[in-house]
Structure 1
Amino acid sequence: MTTDADPVWSAWPGERFELGEGLRYWQHRLLFVDILSGRLFELPDDADHAPRMVAELPEPLGAVAPLAGGGWIAAAGTGVGVLGDDGRLRWIARPEEGAAFRMRMNDAVADPHGRFWAGSMAYDGAPGAGSLYRLDADGSLHRALEGLTVPNGPAFSADGATMYLADSARGVIHRYAVDEDTGELGGPTEFATLSSGSPDGMTVDAEGFLWSAVWGAGRVCRFAPDGTLDRVVPVPAVQPTSVCLTGDRLVVTSARIGLDDPGDSDGAVLSTPLDQLGVPACVATVAGG
């Protein structure tokens, strides 16, 4: 295991976000969300200009994935919908509407087969209140897992046969086999458990290693396919939330929420030079999308 010594970070100027999350790299575009304000942003190529707002919803926006044919699939509010290029959201399903706890969607991603996976959580972090949902190509939504607290990710291997999912409040990343034809999940195996901080947003690089932002610990961790901790990159923000690899830099979102005395980098979108190929965001394929 190696720890990067004093990486040089730069921050995009402008706003510091309450809960920046959901970095996605697609067609040379870098996008992310500020969850609680319901906003989607695009990052400029350089760090001299502030992020540009792409859309704003009247409810939380957990994450988006590019949609075949244009627009985005969004995990928002209490469900999932299609976010058009005009910024309007058309609901597909709201599975958490009327739940026993006040719920919202959290992190979400498309897999290599075009399915969309989205986690939900209670606003108050009630243990076990969250679920993981799978949106299939025919537009049907299924509860794939339940009993989660704060689901983050998921992230997928290049062939889509393996899914990694963090239950952040419990400090653990699980690994699941994924049926290629149906999307059904096998039983969980414990991939990695953190002794400090919480695993948050994740991505798999071109070598099949898993990267995870570590909330509360100011670092990003890289894990080998067998779960061994391979690399630690210190981050100048206490609460890094998601991670993205562009091929020549590591980009990280962070959050200010809950900090009594946030520093200048808390809530910033940060980048540092890094020669590591990532994998572009997968595209969701949904009938009628």
Structure 2
Amino acid sequence: MSPATSLPAPEIFVRGHAVVGEGPVIDPRTNELLWVDIPAGVLSRTPLAAGGSATGSADGSADGSADGSAPGSASVVARVGMSLGAVAVRDRGGYVAAVGAGLGVIGAAGDGGPALTVVHPLLPEPDRRMNDAKCDPAGRFWAGSTTLGFPAGGGALHCWDPDGGVRTALRGLDLPNGLGWSPDGSRFYLADSVRRVVLTAPYDPAAGRLGPLRELLRHDRRDGMPDGLCVDEDGCLWIAVWGAGEVRRHDPRGRLLAVLRLPVSQPSSCAFGPDGTLYVTSASDGLRPGAEPLAGSVFALPGTAFRGVAVGTFAG
């Protein structure tokens, strides 16, 4: 097997200190990158990079403009007052969100602002919360949930259908994280971070149903945890490896193809922009103050030869 390719060093896209920056997703309506800080309950946005280093801050302040008017400047879309796992763009305006103990809408059309409305309070237990989420090609919102402390089997995967119904599609997970679909929508991917595995299953995009899960790849305990992920048009997975300071590209069989090394140890997720730029969020959680000055920033690798599979928008 040939060695993995080392990718060029990334640039700083937004200089910040997010506790757990996560859930990067492109808003095609505004050509912006959206991302969250999970425990802070903050949704931020930044115009997509045109190349070059960024000067913004993920807390909404910036060395340049803080109104979201230029690449690298960050503006806060919403502070929801509870944990915020991830959002997706909503066709009817605003965003859908995996938030606190359920699923909701931020900034729905006609509501007068970016306030949060919790539509489905799924988790009555006080020790559970929602985590990463993403829309499938048909506009369903898939979201993981976990139990604080991450006990074995305390997590689940939920699906919010466009008709408004919510179902629990999988139980017995630990910490469901990065989600993705193959270019034709026929295969589903899911990272279960605490178990250090990436799982895959056949997927019926018309019905929104999963087939039997199997393990695609497993990380050694010394080698970090698979966290957020995205899929490129070649069907390869880009996986942020928490604790290893890397994003790794694997082919659909799990073979390692390329490695992007970052100046932080806790990359948390990644997403492709329309021009092939790879955006990577990161976290400062649990680190000694000053140990990693760039922890919690958003990074960008422009000029890649890859294009990401378009992420669905919520059709409900």
TM score, norm. by length of structure 2: 0.85
* Structure 1 counterpart of 2:310, from 233, 257, 280: 280
1:44 CA drift (Å): 3.1
Identity score, percent: 39
Distance 2:160 2:243 in 1: 31
1:26 CA drift (Å): 2.9
> Partner of 1:264 in structure 2?
293
SS in structure 1 at match of 2:39: helix
Map 1:175-194 → 2, pairs under 5 A? 175-194=200-219
> Partner of 2:6 in structure 1?
4
1:279 CA drift (Å): 2.7
- Residues 25 and 280 in structure 1, CA contact (< 8 A), matched pair in contact too: no
Indicate yes or no: 2:55 matched with 1:48.
yes
1:163 CA drift (Å): 0.8
Distance 1:127 1:176 in 2: 21
Indicate yes or no: 2:194 matched with 1:169.
yes
1:78 CA drift (Å): 0.5
- Residues 14 and 299 in structure 2, CA contact (< 8 A), matched pair in contact too: no
Distance 2:201 2:168 in 1: 15
Q: What is the identity, as a one-letter code, of the residue corresponding to 2:238?
A: W
* Structure 2 counterpart of 1:205, from 225, 232, 236: 232
Q: What is the identity, as a one-letter code, of the residue corresponding to 2:23?
A: G
Cα shift readout 1:81-118 (whole Å, capped 9, x = no counterpart): 11115211222211112x2x601111000000111100
Deviates more, 1:143-152 or 1:181-190: 181-190
Distance 1:66 1:284 in 2: 6
> Partner of 2:32 in structure 1?
29
CA RMSD of aligned residues (A): 1.6
* Structure 2 counterpart of 1:130, from 133, 155, 166: 155
Q: 1:179 to 1:9 in 2, by over 3 A?
A: closer
Distance 1:173 1:55 in 2: 31
SS in structure 1 at match of 2:194: helix
> Partner of 1:74 in structure 2?
97
Distance 1:117 1:13 in 2: 27
- Residues 112 and 158 in structure 1, CA contact (< 8 A), matched pair in contact too: no
Distance 1:19 1:284 in 2: 24
Distance 1:8 1:63 in 2: 26
Distance 1:257 1:94 in 2: 27
Indicate yes or no: 2:68 matched with 1:58.
no
1:14 CA drift (Å): 4.7
Indicate yes or no: 2:136 matched with 1:111.
yes
1:272 CA drift (Å): 2.3
Distance 1:56 1:280 in 2: 27
1:24 CA drift (Å): 0.3
> Partner of 2:59 in structure 1?
none
**Structure 1 gap ranges (5+):** none
**Structure 2 gap ranges (5+):** 57-72
Q: What is the identity, as a one-letter code, of the residue corresponding to 1:3?
A: T
> Partner of 2:174 in structure 1?
149
Cα shift readout 1:132-165 (whole Å, capped 9, x = no counterpart): 0011111111011111111112111123221100
